[in-house]
Amino acid sequence: MRMGGTGLLALMLGWLCLAVPSLCDFLFGVWSGFSQGHELLLLAVAGWLLWRHRSPTDLPPQGAWPFWFWLAWGVGCLAYAFGRSQEFIRIELLSLWWLAVLLTWLARGWSGLRRTWFAWLFCLFAMPLPFGVVLMLTAPLKEAVSALAVSILSGVGYPIGRSGVVLTVGQYQLLVAEACAGLHSMFILEAMGLLYSHLAGHTSRWRTIWLAIMAVPVSFVANVLRVMILVLVTHHFGDAAGQGFIHGFAGIVLFALALMLMAGVDWVLGWVWPDEPGKTSGAKPEAVASPLGVAEGLAAEGLVPWRHAMLFVALLTSAGIAHVGRPQASPEANARALVPLEALFPQHVGEWQPDPVAVGFVRPAFEQAKRFQMYDQVLERVYVNPAGERIMLSVAYGRQQSVGLQVHRPEVCYKAGGFEVGAVQSGQIDLPGHALPVTRLVATMPERQEPITYWRLLGDKVVANEAAFKLDQIAAGLRGRGIDDGLLVRVSSLGADAEAAWRLQAEFVRELDRAQDDAQRRRTTGTRATGS
């Protein structure tokens, strides 16, 4: 009897050996920039739900373990090794979740999984969402929240206007960002709404269903109220008050308002579908001796220790593979990282000179990039020619361009900064002995239209195709060779005529090419044909 219990305990410790480093990296380490700050709360709630729904009546599976379990365990271990070694944070975390679900089945059987299904579903709300998905879904949410907040405040006499997601109140401008009205806040509020619905335990199934559905509009309304609070504080007490303590405190108010609204909706739904007296919808939790509900007699007949040992070895093997296979920067990348960007881009480019008046005008979200730990160096300059035309140069360098950590394309960063991004188109700039492939787009904000030209390099190779860029990264990691460094060069200018701006930018790039030596050209615009 004790042999089986010991085997399961060893598996739980083996799982923790995988989970603790991954969760520490995600919540506090290299991936903390991708977390939203609420994941620890969600995981704590999920742990409490697992404890709440424990029961001594749940027994482990009897007899031989089915083939699907061995297959599912192997897939989970391989997914963890692949996700952690190649820095796919979502695959890494999902594999840990999958292995934990399998451990629950191993300890408590199907009845245990049925009791804890909501806790495992709730854990998924802690998973980081792909940045592209966040941007795609956040834009309409921010637009809708901004429009409704402006309509309400202007209706009661406040001098407020809106252009996209930028609100103007009096002398102040506010950008409605993801934290205030984006998908992440909607996501956590929806999770809290579902938790409220689950814990309410109403006997009416329709009341529970509609309570879960109403969590979506309730979270939307709560976001509108948060934006209105920030606008009012900024209008009456200044920008420092709106962006200081009140900004963070508004997040707490957001959750309080959401819970109050959920309680109000629940009360209204109670008039339509009242609970039957003396009945509850779910089974009450029962006390047991151990944290995971593993009662005495866990090791039922038929459980053999060697099977636990095989699963434990699989966990340790996946951890070892993940550690050995972690991508490292190539020696060439490490050498290039020692060269400052200032040494690659001359101060004087033909007739173009640095513009001291415009220092700090180029803002490529460097602080946010440092938060995401994706850039090792950033260079910002503004050049001006005798005609008074200005070109903004922004260069981002990352020593290790793995799939997880890489420089972001401008169309992604500009959207995150509240810009509207027009159609992205491919092009090229003809240089001596080299046709430089570039990408062009126009980013627009109120009173600012910015045509942009940019290109990316992986090592000394210009990569114009996004799919080829990622495939090369994955192949490098799987083959075990060093990961190349990455460089993104962006030139832009302000003006309503995008075609004229792109021609001016192309001429600047050609002048830059003439002002550089061969080594600088190879680093900034890629390798060329021999003898060019």
Catalytic (active-site) positions: 180, 226
In sequence order, what are the residues at sequence separation of 6 or more whose Cβ sits closer than 8 angstroms to the Cβ of residue 181? 141, 142, 145, 146, 223, 224, 226, 227
Beta-strand pair 448-458/461-462:
antiparallel
Residue 28 and residue 40 in contact, taking contact as beta carbons nearer than 8 Å: no
In sequence order, what are the residues at sequence separation of 6 or more whose Cβ sits closer than 8 angstroms to the Cβ of residue 29? none
DSSP string, 176-231: --HHHHSHHHHHHHHHHHHHHHHHH--S-HHHHHHHHHTHHHHHHHHHHHHHHHHH
SS3 323: helix
Distance (Å, rounded) from C-alpha 253 to C-alpha 281?
Answer: 31
Distance (Å, rounded) from C-alpha 84 to C-alpha 89?
Answer: 7
Residue type, 207: R
Query: For every residue of 392-409, which 3-state class applies, written as one string?
Result: EEEEEEECCCCCCCCCCC
SS3 114: helix
Residue 246 and residue 233 in contact, taking contact as beta carbons nearer than 8 Å: yes
φ, ψ of residue 171 in degrees (nearest 5): -95, 5
- Planar angle of CA 392, 354, 396, nearest 5 degrees: 45
In sequence order, what are the residues at sequence separation of 6 or more whose Cβ sits closer than 8 angstroms to the Cβ of residue 242? 172, 174, 230, 231, 233, 234
Pull the structure tokens for residue 386: 């005798």
Distance (Å, rounded) from C-alpha 272 to C-alpha 291?
Answer: 39
Pull the structure tokens for residue 213: 């559905």
Q: Check residue 358 and report its DSSP letter.
A: G
Pull the structure tokens for residue 284: 């009450």
C-beta neighbour count of 406 within 10 angstroms: 21
Distance (Å, rounded) from C-alpha 426 to C-alpha 431?
Answer: 16
Residue 441 and residue 456 in contact, taking contact as beta carbons nearer than 8 Å: no
Residue 446 and residue 166 in contact, taking contact as beta carbons nearer than 8 Å: yes
SS3 348: coil
Pull the structure tokens for residue 217: 């509009």
